[in-house]
Amino acid sequence: MFTGIVEETGTIRAAEPRGGGSRLTVACKRVIEDAMLGSSIAVNGVCLTAVALGPGWFAADLAPETLRRTNLGKLVPGSVVNLERPLPFNGRVGGHLVQGHIESTASLLAVEPLGNGNWWLRVSLPEGAARYVIEKGSIALDGISLTVASIDGAAVSAAIIPHTYENTNLHTLQPGWPMNLETDLVAKHIEKLLPPQR
């Protein structure tokens, strides 16, 4: 379990196809300080398992399902990624509860300046995702916990403060980038438990 508070950005060192999957090697510092083989690390919001570690890097294998649902297959050497370690049981939830289980991707529409280092992020949600998103609720995009500022059909907007913009990969993204999407876990469970609508 994660919180969507990005600890650092890393850089892709290698992306190697392996059968139907892939292996990513990520250059980083903080998230491997206490890592060991088998540790979980979120990369752009995707919970991955460290299968190799070295000074300033770790590697993780991607299953075909992960490549199908996320943007990790589009990463190339030099790509900047958001990184987060799992939440310790005695830790603080600074963002919101994030599983690291990506449903699909949302298309980045724009990141527009608002002045004083603030930004306005707009994404287009995939079909069926808007039902789990509410105004002033939480959403995770590329592993960043964001508060939904407005919803207009499939378009969702969030205000980005200077710290978030500078300390995540947002400043590197271009319109059209598929951002890894994780909507509200509680909303999905409630829908599952409710009787079917007639």
Write down the domain spans for the chain. 8-84, 104-193
pLDDT for the residue 94: 80
Average pLDDT over residues 106-120: 97
Task: Please state which of the four CATH numbers 2.60.120.10, 2.40.30.20, 3.30.565.10, 3.40.50.720 is assigned to the domain occupying 8-84.
Answer: 2.40.30.20
* pLDDT over 70 percentage in the chain: 99
Reported as a single tens digit per residue, the pLDDT across 77-110 is: 999 999 999 988 777 888 788 889 999 999 999 9
From the centroid of its chain, how far is CA 98?
A: 9
Contacts of 176 (CB under 8 A, 6+ apart): 107, 108
pLDDT for the residue 188: 76
Q: Given this chain, do its domains 8-84 and 104-193 carry the same CATH topology?
A: yes
Closest CA to 184 of 119, 140, 118, 122: 140
pLDDT band per the 50, 70, 90 thresholds, residue 198: low
Closest CA to 96 of 3, 7, 196: 3
Average pLDDT, the chain: 94
Please give the Cα distance from 107 to 38 (Å, whole number). 31
The amino acid occupying position 20 is G
Q: Which CATH code fits 104-193?
A: 2.40.30.20
pLDDT band per the 50, 70, 90 thresholds, residue 12: very high
pLDDT band per the 50, 70, 90 thresholds, residue 189: confident
pLDDT for the residue 148: 97
The answer to whether 151 and 89 have CB atoms below 8 angstroms apart is no
pLDDT for the residue 193: 83
Phi first, then psi, for residue 113 (nearest 5°) are -70, 140
| Helix (H) / strand (E) containing 124 | strand 118-124
pLDDT for the residue 157: 98
Average pLDDT over residues 54-68: 97
Tokens of 125: 């949600």
90, 104, 175 from 124: Cα distances, Å:
35, 12, 11
pLDDT for the residue 169: 98
Closest CA to 98 of 88, 114, 86: 86
